[in-house]
Amino acid sequence: MILSNTVTVARRGPGIRSVVVLLAAVAAVAASVGACRSAGAPIPDAGQSAQAGSGADLTQLDSIVGDARYVSLGEDSHGMPGVHRFVADAFRYLVARHGFRLFVFESAWGIEEGLQQFMHSDRTTIQGDEGLFLNAFNSPSTMELLIWIRDWNRAHPDDEIRIAGYQPEQPVTDFIALWTYMQSLPGFARSGLQERAAPCRAGSGQFRSNNEFLADTFKRRGAGKLTYSAVERADCLQALAAISAYLEEHRAELVAGSSADAFAEAGLRIISLETYVGLLTRIADEWARGEEVPLAEQIRLQGEAYSGGDRARDQIFATLMRTRYAGMKVFFWMHNWHAAEHASELNRDSGDLPTIPFGTVSLGERLARRYGDELVTIGNIVPCGSTCTEPAGSLEAPFAERFGNSVTFVDLRRPQSGQPTLPLSRPGMLYANHHKSGFDGVVLDRQFDALFYMPPELAGKVGRAGDQK
């Protein structure tokens, strides 16, 4: 998520806090906006070379992907530059060889509109809310990919590549779109709905961008205030319910003046805002109170945030596939946990730092239910090397012994000679190196259809958004 994609929570202090850091993660991105280096190197043709700059033999994707219409690629940890290079290479290859035309970031679902100015410019850096929409994926390799997509679309105006997201964390974007859509109704100005939504703050007209709203939120935090007081949150949610009812009351008129798809997306704005205000910022505010949170309560809050958040993400994306992207072949990029096809079976086992609770259903699990055999899910294995120490029972060590410094794929549906030495069907921990946390009870060939192994030296160190180390 924009707010946080870590998989553990530290009780207090400077450790990882998976819901408190929600807004802090965005601030880090916002602070680095414009700092991304120029893409520089020319972008090769998508089919020019099967040997990617990341070192991967991309022809291995042919048998793994086959005729699948959806490919979901998980990553060990956010921010690894080598993985970013591989993702860009893999998508270009799938565009050229397999007809994929939709790239989906684990980011806010307004990303396509958010990057529109960049995609119609000749800029090589991002600015303003563009950094927020790129989220944890803001890097030189991602910038090169965006420029390549821009060049492709200019050369293929009748066969364009689209960019999408599904995160419900874009309150200013959502309110601006709602007000614009509803202004076509003659009685809207007199409805009082904009005034009633004032406690939501993001729709007051005070903020021109999501970044401005987040900056104001941090000022409030510095003054000892929360994102929303209990009264403000309740009033905002009541206002959103009133807006939803008003939309439904005027459905026929709105559809006649726009389209059924536009009306459906207005409904998504409500879902997005209700999730942001009623769930994600509520849990972030629980952490921000500065009180010691018992371990059991940390676990409960983790489960609530991830379960409710991924439910909304799934609903948003499913609707967008109908309203915007019907018939397109789709490439997803997200964290391993979000991508896992049976994430609810994973155990919490991180000592006194709670991970996402057992039973929490991920976006990947929902995608697997919907798309079945049309979906191929590829997990990512990156051993620690010198960057960390894997726990006993970690699944990465046998891969490091087997593949060393080679970059390779492992097709879990068609095991090859030598793969019996790998822990493909026995449970173990999948460790997220740079988040310093893991998931236990992972059976690799249950969670993923294939794996992409990358040695730590090539994966690289994690830095701020936009950095390469």
- Confidence band (pLDDT; 50, 70, 90) for 48? very low
Res 418: pLDDT = 60
Mean pLDDT for the stretch of residues 124-141: 90
* Stronger pLDDT, 454 or 389, i.e. the higher one: 454
Provide the CA 333 distance to its chain's centre, in angstroms. Answer: 7
Q: What's the pLDDT at 386?
A: 77
Q: What is the pLDDT of residue 234?
A: 98
Mean pLDDT, rounded, for 101-122: 97
Average pLDDT for residues 77-93, to the nearest whole number?
A: 94
Rounded Cα gap, residues 194 and 95, in angstroms: 43
DSSP 347: B
Residue 12: per-residue pLDDT: 30
**Bridge-based pairing state of the strands 450-453 and 162-164:** unpaired
Residue-level pLDDT at 403: 92
pLDDT in the model for residue 439: 83
Judged on CB neighbours under 10 Å (0-12, 13-18, 19+), 454 is buried
Which of 21-25, 201-205, 208-212, 302-306 comes out lowest in average pLDDT? 21-25
Average pLDDT score, the chain: 85
User: Quick check: helix, strand or coil at residue 398?
Assistant: helix
Alpha carbons 172 and 152: distance in angstroms, whole number = 31
- Quick one: pLDDT at residue 37? 34
What mean pLDDT comes out for the span 215-223? 90
Cα 251 to Cα 373: distance, rounded to the nearest angstrom: 36
State the Cα–Cα distance between residues 123 and 139, nearest whole angstrom.
15
When pLDDT is averaged across residues 250-274 and rounded to a whole number, the result is: 97
* The predicted structure's pLDDT at residue 438: 79
Mean pLDDT of 385-394: 79
Q: What is the DSSP letter of 340?
A: -
Q: Does pLDDT of 355 surpass 90?
A: no
- What string of DSSP letters covers 120-174? TS--SS--THHHHHHGGG-SHHHHHHHHHHHHHHHH-TTS--EEE--B---HHHH
| Token duo for residue 434 | 């740079």
What is the pLDDT averaged over residues 292-299? 80
What is the distance between the alpha carbons of residues 151 and 333, in angstroms, rounded to a whole number?
Answer: 21
Q: Of 151, 102, 86, which is closest to residue 124 (Cα–Cα)?
A: 151
What number of residues does the chain have? 469
pLDDT band of 254, cuts 50, 70, 90: very high
Strands 428-432 and 437-442: antiparallel
What are the backbone dihedrals phi and psi of residue 385, each rounded to the nearest 5 degrees, phi first? 60, -130
d(CA 439, CA 7): 8
Q: Is residue 250's pLDDT more than 90?
A: yes
- Dihedral angle sign, alpha carbons of residues 287, 288, 290, 291: negative
- Residue 44 has a pLDDT of 42
Question: What are 360's two structure tokens?
Answer: 């929490």
Pairing of strands 330-335, 70-75: parallel
What's the token pair of residue 363?
A: 């976006």
- Residues in contact with 70: Cβ distance below 8 Å, sequence separation at least 6, in sequence order: 329, 330, 332, 367, 371, 374, 375, 376
pTM: 0.88
Smallest CA-to-CA distance from 43 within 126, 124, 113, 112 is with 124
Contacts of 281 (CB under 8 A, 6+ apart): 22, 23, 227, 228, 233
134 contacts: CB under 8 Å, gap ≥ 6: 29, 105, 107, 111, 126, 142, 465
Alpha carbon of 149 to those of 100, 119, 152, 161: distances in Å?
12, 8, 5, 6
82: amino acid identity, one letter: G
pLDDT, tens only, 407-448 = 999 999 987 766 668 999 999 988 876 667 778 889 999 999
Cα dihedral: 201, 207, 208, 212 (round 10): -110
pLDDT value of residue 10: 32
Task: Look at 226-240, 253-267, 408-422 and tell me which has the smallest mean pLDDT.
Answer: 408-422
Residue 395: phi and psi, rounded to 5, are -80, -15
For residues 298 and 306, is the Cβ–Cβ distance under 8 A? no
Question: Given a cut of 80, is residue 388 above it in pLDDT?
Answer: no
Say if residues 460 and 372 touch (Cβ distance below 8 Å): no
**Phi, psi for 382 (deg, rounded to 5):** -130, 110
Give the whole-angstrom CA distance, residue 130 versus residue 33: 8
309/216 Cα distance (integer angstroms): 23
**CB distance 196 to 232 below 8 Å:** no
Q: Please choose, from the candidates 47, 139, 53, 41, the residue with its C-alpha nearest in 3D space to the C-alpha of residue 407.
A: 53
Tokens representing residue 368 in the block: 């697997």
Contact 302, 354 (CB under 8 A): yes
| Rounded (10°) CA dihedral 262, 268, 270, 274 | -170
